[in-house]
Amino acid sequence: MIRTARLALRRPEPEDIDTLAEIWGDPRVMNDLGPVKDRAMSEATLARHLDYWDHGYGFWLVERDGAPAGFAGLKPGAPDTPIEGEVEAGWMFAPAHWGQGLAQEAMAAALAWGWAHLAPPRIVAITAERNAASRRLMARLGMAHLPELAFEHPLFAADDPLRHTVTYAIDRPA
């Protein structure tokens, strides 16, 4: 578990499916991330995320005052993309927790954990080109935009605006 001034980040458990399905099923959350997930899709997504921990790292369930607020952490870079083989950072928070700096606090803790426990030369993050909020957070976290690693995400249809993907990265601190 990771603790910050306002948050607790803990490994998710299968019993967290209701919380995560609510987040992944919210059209506001998924607007710039991908399709809204039904229960079956949420269960598959949680299973995939639990499997990431076999690599020694993954996403944490983020809690504030003991209540779930979001899902954030590190995972292996998306296959069939320019970041495959890298450590990828990501996050999503329930709308009730937006605009409070919680994602930045959680991700700063996740990055610090990554530098302490993993050995990558950098950590990357990707998002849809149009996702201005995530791009601003990437910059606040000290990540630099890498235009040469922009790509068309293979999980989205050719006409889906989420297909246009940008990459940001932060180098390992000296």
Q: What percent of the chain has pLDDT over 70?
A: 100
Sign of CA dihedral 149, 151, 154, 155: positive
Mean pLDDT to the nearest integer, 65-77: 96
The reported pLDDT for the residue numbered 150 is: 97
The reported pLDDT for the residue numbered 78 is: 87
The stretches of the chain forming alpha helices (DSSP H) are 17-24, 27-30, 39-52, 102-117, 132-140
Rounded to two decimals, the pTM is 0.94
The reported pLDDT for the residue numbered 98 is: 95
Cα–Cα dist 28/94, whole Å: 9
pLDDT band at 104 (very low <50, low <70, confident <90, very high): very high
Contact 9, 73 (CB under 8 A): yes
CA-wise closest residue to 63 among 109, 132, 25: 109
66: left (phi over 0), alpha (psi -120 to 50) or beta: left
Average pLDDT, the chain: 96
Cα–Cα dist 53/100, whole Å: 28
**Is residue 161's pLDDT more than 90?**
yes
CA-wise closest residue to 92 among 111, 109, 107: 107
**Is residue 38's pLDDT more than 90?**
yes
Mean pLDDT to the nearest integer, 130-135: 96
